[in-house]
Amino acid sequence: MNYDIDKERIDKERIDNTDWHAIGVDQALEKLNATSQGLTEQSVRQRLQQFGPNELPEIKRNGPLIRLLLQFHNVLIYILIVAGIAKAALGSWVDAGVIFAVVIVNGIIGFVQEGRAEKALDAIRQMLSLKATLRRSGQRVSVPTSEIVPGDVVLLASGDKVPADLRLIESRELRIDEAMLTGESVPAEKNIDALAAEVALGDRCSLAFSGTLVTSGRGVGVVVKTGEATELGKISNLVSATAAITTPLIAKVNRFAHFLAILIVVVAGLTIVIGYVLGRMSLIDLFFAAIALAVAAIPEGLPAIMTIVLAIGVRRMANRNAIIRRLAAVDTLGALTVICSDKTGTLTRNEMTVTSVAIADGIVDVSGTGYQPEGELSLNGQSLNLDDFPHLSLLLQAGILCSEADLTEENGVWRTSGDPMEGALLTLAAKAGLQFQQQRQAWETLDTIPFESENRFMATLHPIPNEESVTAELGQRLAFIKGAPERILDCCHQVLTADGSREIDVNEWHQLEQQMANNGQRVLALACKSLEADAQQLDFESVQQDLTLLGLTGIIDPPRDEAIAAVQQCQGAGIRVVMITGDHALTARAIGEKLNIGDGQTATTGAEIDEMDESHLIETVGRCSVFARVSPEHKLRLVEAIQANRQVVAMTGDGVNDAPALKRADVGIAMGLKGTEVTKEAAEMVLADDNFASIAKAVEEGRTVFDNLRKALLFILPTNGGEALTILAAILLGFVLPMTPVQVLWVNMITAVTLGLALAFEPPERDVMKRKPRDPAAHLLSRYFIWRILFVSVIICVGTFGIFSWARLEGFAEDYARTLAVNTIVMFEAFYLFNTRFLTAPILNRQGLFGSRPVLISVALVIIFQILFTYFGPLQSIMGSTAIFARDWLKIVLVASSVLWIVEIEKWVMSRLERNRDTVVRQTNHERKSQSDVH
């Protein structure tokens, strides 16, 4: 069928740039060239050509082969490959095979993890419903969501997933759960009124957003945006465009590996040049000696040890409900300086709870959180007896009867269906001992005026079942009314008390309502009215005048008890906690105050963020810790601004709106139970129990992992340094090499894989969560670490070369002298392993020497391996070793044990110097303060 395409075409740029929430229904339909009866099939076909299908586009990705090859694009991997080639060139095929196996396994792990990460975009694509109910040419039709176009008219009912961004043109009790997009705890009430252009995303009541869920009511909306133009599509683009950043450890190891690779090449080259100038060896011998030197200097065990340490940290974290999806995130957790947390469902329970009830006698405090009906009501610190407060009992009955919610228990977990705030009122009644099912059976409901956003109240009519209660004076028919305080209070002329009723001071109750709202509570007013004995139905006029106020309820989504403790622990570890939420500023401030986040007075809103340039925002995030009414773009900007302050940032969240910020953060942390698949796939870590406290445990493990990695470096590098110095000394002095390349490889394999591995199992040191976060800009090796590595390398070189020289001077054969040298350097490492268990603390105690089973087992294994190296015939043939006398073992042990005593003395000296320096600093600061006080 032919038709005029231009006639049906609409201006795409105009659609994209229109603030649809800020214009009326008729104007919206006019801009879309549409009517409330829907588009014709001809218009649909043309617009489908113009706008494309209502789908989120697939992002172009590298193919599997390219992704696999990119896993090997790493300097550490290059060093491993070079070491493997060198070993293969020297005929050590077994060692070469092991190294290449490590390279391949690391590549496969990275390949698999990257593939899993890319599922984040696919998970967002799945959030669109498959079919939707539309009105086209006046007919009700069901079509695939991919065929929806701007101008289509969509019909919404309870349980529907919104298929595109809509401008609502009809709304009847329509409420939509937008928590995954805005972070709002309670379903948003929708209407068709035009709003101010600058209102925040979560306040755009005249719009329905793609991917959100209709919880109640009905509505009709005209499609204004589809596919990637929707708010959900913008998040998808943010996720795909947000670059994942490298971790502090990976960045440091890469820099160190570059430096080490250059240093090895330079030293090997200089060795050849200097040796040739001195004329101590032939050029070919110098070349092979340089290869041996390079092989000795390359810490080929380091990447494997690093991976193993991280893997053990991952296992420990999993046992503490923190599931790591990317190995490198383990280290980053240990460097965190800021945790940006979503509020709803993360710091709070995402379960509305009545925490206070205002009645004529005062404020009733309510304990207990969530929908679990456990807690008590108290007034002035004293538990209440409902028999003494019949007017409070009537308020509780009003909360039960003027409600459509239900409360059920399943496997010990209480859940509500319907409006969460109504569920909170049912829980309140249950805490006071009222059985809501029995109350509903006893109080027959004759009529109901359902809640409508235009009226902002709900009313029900009941015959009074028990005339001996406080209700006796109210008549035989009773209407309960529940709604917004500003709507109900002005309709009341009296307030109910324990002794009857008295005239109400409306201004006093308005002030009380404002006080509760300032505490972050959502306030509901409950009232009643007596009607004639024959009344069978309600009318709007009768329930809007001469009401008797029962009281006000303050409802809040309370913070988790364990989250309060976890925030304190993180702050004690020098980690700042920042709350970033889509909820209202008053609520955010109140929750922040309960959690000790922020000052309880200040909250920066998304609208204020929009007015800030980057420099202003960077300054703001440095002082403000509570951000409210923010959009996904705001969350992303906030994370980037905090990172611009040279902070290492974690972002927690559970909704789709958190995914871009999670991906951009140094560590993205998703909630495992309530989190969406989008969030989990974008995150580096998933909390299996949705418990914020698990983050503190994960940080402790992350710091332990970094400690153990540094210990591994402090252990492995002196091995390579001692070997390299020993070989270098022999070359410069014109000696035969104290160790052959094959023997060097044996030492590296034994010390790294056996002894070095034991350090991966070291438990946390006592002060690990009392330290400040390490400076992310600090070098991997501090000046003290470099000193320790050089110091121990020299000790090993002197001892090993000394044993070798002594053996040669005594007339022993080269094989015998080399066997002594190899055993000496391995024993040096065995003793030095104990020194390395504690970075600065002494180890000459029971815990230091015998407190680690892995260390004792690894030392025993090394002794067995060295006995085999020395006396086992096949190994003697491969390694060029030979049997040695028992008395020479005593010499080896005495020489090698020197490192244990010397390093412990060095620790003691360094600690004394550190204490003296601290004392001087304190005295200087005290003197300066005294002088300033005098002035």
Which are the catalytic amino acids? 342
- Give burial (CB, 10 Å; 0-12/13-18/19+) of 496: buried
| C-alpha distances in Å from residue 53, one per residue of 57, 65, 146, 162 | 9, 31, 5, 16
Task: Give me the torsion for CA of 884, 888, 894, 900, rounded to 10°.
Answer: -10
Chain centre distance of CA 34: 44
635, HSE (Cβ side, Cα atoms, 13 Å): 37
Closest CA to 304 of 598, 76, 550: 76
In whole angstroms, what is the distance from residue 373 CA to residue 370 CA?
8
Q: Name the 3-class secondary structure at 230.
A: coil
In whole angstroms, what is the distance from residue 616 CA to residue 556 CA?
32
Length of the chain equals 935
Helix (H) or strand (E) holding 301: helix 301-319
Per the structure block, which two tokens stand in for 782? 């501090």
| C-alpha distances in Å from residue 551, one per residue of 485, 513, 514 | 10, 10, 14
Per the structure block, which two tokens stand in for 616? 């202003």
In whole angstroms, what is the distance from residue 274 CA to residue 364 CA?
88
Q: Name the 3-class secondary structure at 463.
A: strand
Q: Name the 3-class secondary structure at 509.
A: helix
Helix (H) or strand (E) holding 670: strand 667-671
Q: Name the 3-class secondary structure at 6.
A: helix
Q: In 787-801, which positions are buried (b, 16+ CB within 10 angstroms) versus exposed (e)?
A: ebbebbbebbbbbbb
State the Rg of the chain over Cα: 36
The angle at the Cα of 253, spanning 249 to 258, to the nearest 5 degrees, equals 155
Closest CA to 164 of 217, 225, 205, 104: 225
In whole angstroms, what is the distance from residue 368 CA to residue 381 CA?
15
In whole angstroms, what is the distance from residue 862 CA to residue 361 CA?
78
- Is the CB of residue 245 less than 8 Å from the CB of residue 193? no
Secondary structure in 3-state letters for 166-188: EEEEEEEEEEEECHHHHCCCCCE
Residues contacting 474, CB < 8 A, separation 6+: 464, 528, 530, 548
Residues contacting 25, CB < 8 A, separation 6+: 167, 169, 192
The DSSP code for 471 is: G
| C-alpha distances in Å from residue 162, one per residue of 32, 119, 232, 674 | 19, 22, 11, 20
Write down the H helix ranges in 364-444.
Answer: 390-401, 420-431, 436-442
Closest CA to 862 of 834, 838, 903, 902: 834
Q: Name the 3-class secondary structure at 353.
A: strand
Closest CA to 378 of 363, 390, 391: 363
In whole angstroms, what is the distance from residue 584 CA to residue 520 CA?
8
Write down the H helix ranges in 9-40.
Answer: 12-16, 25-31
Neighbours of 558 (CB within 10 A): 21
